[in-house]
Amino acid sequence: MKKNAVEWSLFIGTFTGMVLSLIGGFSGVREIYLIGLILAFGSMFTLIIKGLVDLFWRTWKTR
């Protein structure tokens, strides 16, 4: 249950960052664009690292 909550929060963070980036890009407000970009890439990077760690941990436990 806890793992799903973390993954969903990262998905929501990525989606929110992309939406903020689009809004900032189309409206011309650079600060909103940068905040959205940082939020989206930070969440995606964290999600990728979490997936790799889970995969490694699952592989290591089965040995």
What is the pLDDT at residue 25? Answer: 93
Give which of 20, 18, 19, 40 is closest to 31, Cα–Cα.
20
Residue 62 has what DSSP assignment?
A: T
pLDDT at 1 exceeding the cut of 60: no
11 pLDDT above the threshold of 70: yes
Q: For residue 15, what pLDDT band results from cuts at 50, 70 and 90?
A: very high
DSSP sequence for 16-59: HHHHHHHHHHHHT-HHHHHHHHHHHHHHHHHHHHHHHHHHHHHH
